[in-house]
């Protein structure tokens, strides 16, 4: 049997967030093993078979010149966008391949520093850029954002229609997306967003609470309601805290969302949701934080070993969904999880990074970056099949539905 190319690659991902704080696409990091030539075109064929109209657009980010060169030379028109690091364009052969690829109809993205943009003849090869800002450029952008009138807008170094990466400040993020009309941000300034909102009470998302209330009114299936609960870590946590409160006096502990749904009944849940709605959060900057946590949970659920039953998969999902509650609630994760009658498997993985769920959670976390050595080490340490890891990642990404703009 011929080994799939997915077994010889190391993948990772980073969401691309637009001005609406929605996922506009995914940056897919693609690395190979040292001194091993990989069939990069095979990956394009695999993606083409998996992706459909509702899947997120991809920005392919090769991490070796060999992979990039093969795509530039052979990728057919209609392939996903391809990122080209500026430093690699110093190779004349690769530069010519990029020129030929652009003529062939490929969508290329220049990646480099905003302070050192390419010459016009080079820039003409690319439909947009992935830009990084040094400290001086970031300060200039923030100062321009605090000004007023046309002069302030002209002084800003931010270029509309481009993508920006490694933006660690909430203020700079807003300046890029709202003030500078950036196309997207690669990644999200999670820590600074949460720090700036630390004086506001942590609350579930208004849109998810409302969505769940509607699902119950429409008598959606139990599976559908459980899935919606799992779209917000705070809502899921608050619900389980409520179902296990002394006030309800339930005889047995509720250790899953599904059991809580069954034991509470729809009328009681609707009343509880109605109580949550007035204080629910409408802060759009929190949406990427929440959705990134949900992505991790979906990936961890996919990564758990084959043959595991539905209940254990749901438990794995909850484990990953709750694994970053300390960021949202501002207290130790161990103390948060001890309030719920969850299995020791959840606590061990999320807090101690041990036990049967730890490999899936560790890998789901590692795939949120381009740290190929870490992914390789985890595959060896936990005896995870690299092809299966990559297939799980692609399956989760292709199933993440990106909202389409409404027709005018």
CB 100 within 8 A of CB 75: no
Decide which of 129, 162, 196 is a domain's last residue: 196
Compute the residue count for the chain: 408
Position 149 scores a pLDDT of 47
Does residue 322 sit within a domain?
no
Q: How confident is the model at residue 33 (pLDDT cuts 50, 70, 90)?
A: confident
**Is the pLDDT at 2 greater than 60, yes or no?**
no
Please give the C-alpha separations between residue 172 and each of 110, 141, 190, 198, in angstroms, as whole numbers.
Answer: 21, 7, 13, 18
**Do 136 and 155 fall within a single domain?**
yes
**Do 60 and 81 fall within a single domain?**
yes
**Do 107 and 224 fall within a single domain?**
no
**Do 249 and 133 fall within a single domain?**
no
Decide which of 196, 214, 247 is a domain's last residue: 196
How far apart CA 5 and CA 189 sit, in angstroms, is 33
Q: What is the pLDDT of residues 97-151, one digit of tens each?
A: 999 999 999 999 999 999 999 999 999 999 999 999 999 999 999 988 776 444 4
**Do 161 and 250 fall within a single domain?**
no
**Do 191 and 217 fall within a single domain?**
no
Q: Rounded to two decimals, what is the model's pTM? A: 0.93
**Do 76 and 105 fall within a single domain?**
yes
Among 178, 145, 144, 184, smallest CA distance to 162 is for 184
Does residue 109 sit within a domain?
yes
Position 310 scores a pLDDT of 87
**Do 143 and 82 fall within a single domain?**
yes
The region of weakest confidence among 9-18, 106-115, 242-251 is 242-251
CB 88 within 8 A of CB 62: no
Does residue 317 sit within a domain?
no
| Conformation bin of residue 68: beta by default, left when phi > 0, alpha when psi is -120 to 50 | alpha
Q: What is the pLDDT of residues 173-224, one digit of tens each?
A: 999 999 999 999 999 999 999 999 999 999 999 999 999 999 999 999 999 9
Decide which of 196, 219, 239 is a domain's last residue: 196
What rounded mean pLDDT belongs to the chain?
92
Position 251 scores a pLDDT of 67
Does residue 248 sit within a domain?
yes
Q: Which domain holds residue 47?
A: 5-196
**Is the pLDDT at 95 greater than 90, yes or no?**
yes
Position 47 scores a pLDDT of 95
**Residue 121 burial by Cβ neighbours in a 10 Å radius (0-12, 13-18, 19+):** exposed
Q: What is the pLDDT of residues 373-403, one digit of tens each?
A: 999 999 999 999 999 999 999 999 999 976 5
CATH number for 10: 3.20.20.450
Q: Looking at the 3D structure of the chain, how many domains does it have?
A: 2
Does residue 243 sit within a domain?
yes
How far apart CA 129 and CA 253 sit, in angstroms, is 52
**Do 106 and 44 fall within a single domain?**
yes
Position 151 scores a pLDDT of 44
Among 81, 299, 288, 60, smallest CA distance to 185 is for 288
- Assign 3-class secondary structure to the chain: CCCCHHHHEEEEEEEEECCCCCEEEEEEEEEECCCCCCCHHHHHHHHHHHCCCCCCCEEEEECCHHHHHHHHHHCCCCCCEEEEEHHHHHCHHHHHHHHHHHHHCCCEEEEEEHHHCCCHHHHCCCCEEEEECCHHHHHHHHHHHHCCCHHHHHHCCCCCCCEEECCCCHHHHHHHHHHCCCCEEECCCHHHHHHHCCCCCCCCEHHHHHHHHHHHHCCCCHHHHHHHHCCCHHHHHHHHHHHCCCCCCCCCCCCCHHHHHHHHCHHHHHHHHHHHHHHCECCHHHHHHHHHHHHHHHHHHHHCCCCCCHHHHHHHHHHHHCCCHHHHHCCCHHHHHCCCCCCHHHHHHHHHCCCCCHHHHHHHHHCCCCCHHHHHHHHHHHCCCHHHHHHHHHHHHHHCCCCCCCCC
**Do 233 and 172 fall within a single domain?**
no
Percentage, residues of the chain above pLDDT 90: 83
**Is the pLDDT at 13 greater than 60, yes or no?**
yes
Please give the C-alpha separations between residue 170 and each of 164, 195, 378, in angstroms, as whole numbers.
Answer: 13, 9, 32
Does residue 74 sit within a domain?
yes
How far apart CA 17 and CA 187 sit, in angstroms, is 7
Tokens found for residue 360: 């899936």
Does residue 302 sit within a domain?
no
**Do 189 and 254 fall within a single domain?**
no
Does residue 366 sit within a domain?
no
**Do 166 and 221 fall within a single domain?**
no
Position 37 scores a pLDDT of 78
């Amino acid at each position: 049997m011929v080994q799939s190319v997915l077994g010889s690659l190391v993948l990772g991902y980073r969401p691309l967030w637009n001005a609406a704080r929605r996922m506009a696409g995914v940056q897919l990091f693609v690395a190979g093993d040292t001194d091993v030539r990989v069939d990069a075109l095979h990956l394009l064929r695999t993606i083409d078979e998996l992706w459909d109209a509702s899947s997120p657009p991809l920005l392919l980010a090769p991490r070796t010149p060999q992979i990039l060169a093969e795509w530039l030379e052979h990728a057919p028109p209609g392939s996903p966008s391809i990122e080209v690091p500026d430093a690699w364009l110093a190779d004349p052969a690769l530069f010519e391949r990029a020129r030929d690829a652009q003529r062939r109809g490929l969508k290329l993205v220049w990646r480099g520093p905003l302070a050192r943009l390419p010459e016009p003849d080079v820039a003409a090869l690319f439909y947009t850029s992935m830009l990084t800002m040094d400290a001086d450029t970031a300060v200039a952008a923030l100062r321009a954002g605090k000004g007023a009138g046309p002069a302030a807008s002209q002084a800003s170094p931010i270029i509309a229609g481009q993508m920006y990466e490694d933006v660690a400040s909430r203020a700079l993020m807003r300046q890029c997306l709202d003030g500078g009309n950036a196309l997207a941000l690669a990644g999200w300034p999670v820590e600074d967003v949460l720090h700036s909102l630390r004086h506001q009470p942590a609350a579930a998302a208004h849109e998810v609470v409302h969505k769940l209330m509607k699902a119950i009114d429409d008598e959606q299936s139990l599976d559908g309601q459980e899935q919606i609960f799992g779209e917000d870590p705070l809502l899921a946590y608050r619900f389980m805290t409520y179902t296990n409160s002394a006030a309800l006096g339930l005889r047995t502990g509720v250790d899953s969302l599904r059991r809580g749904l069954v034991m509470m009944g729809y009328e009681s849940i609707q009343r509880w949701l109605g109580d949550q709605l007035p204080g629910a959060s409408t802060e759009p900057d929190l949406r990427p934080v929440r959705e990134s946590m949900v992505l991790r949970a979906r990936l961890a659920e996919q990564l758990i070993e084959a043959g595991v039953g539905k209940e254990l998969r749901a438990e794995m999902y909850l484990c990953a969904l709750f694994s970053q509650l300390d960021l949202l609630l501002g207290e130790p994760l161990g103390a948060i999880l001890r309030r719920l009658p969850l299995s020791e498997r959840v606590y061990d993985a999320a807090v101690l990074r041990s036990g049967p769920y730890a490999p899936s959670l560790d890998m789901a976390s590692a795939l949120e970056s381009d740290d190929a050595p870490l992914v390789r080490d985890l595959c060896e340490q936990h005896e995870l099949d690299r092809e299966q890891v990559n297939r799980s990642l692609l399956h989760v990404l292709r199933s993440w539905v990106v909202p389409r703009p409404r027709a005018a």
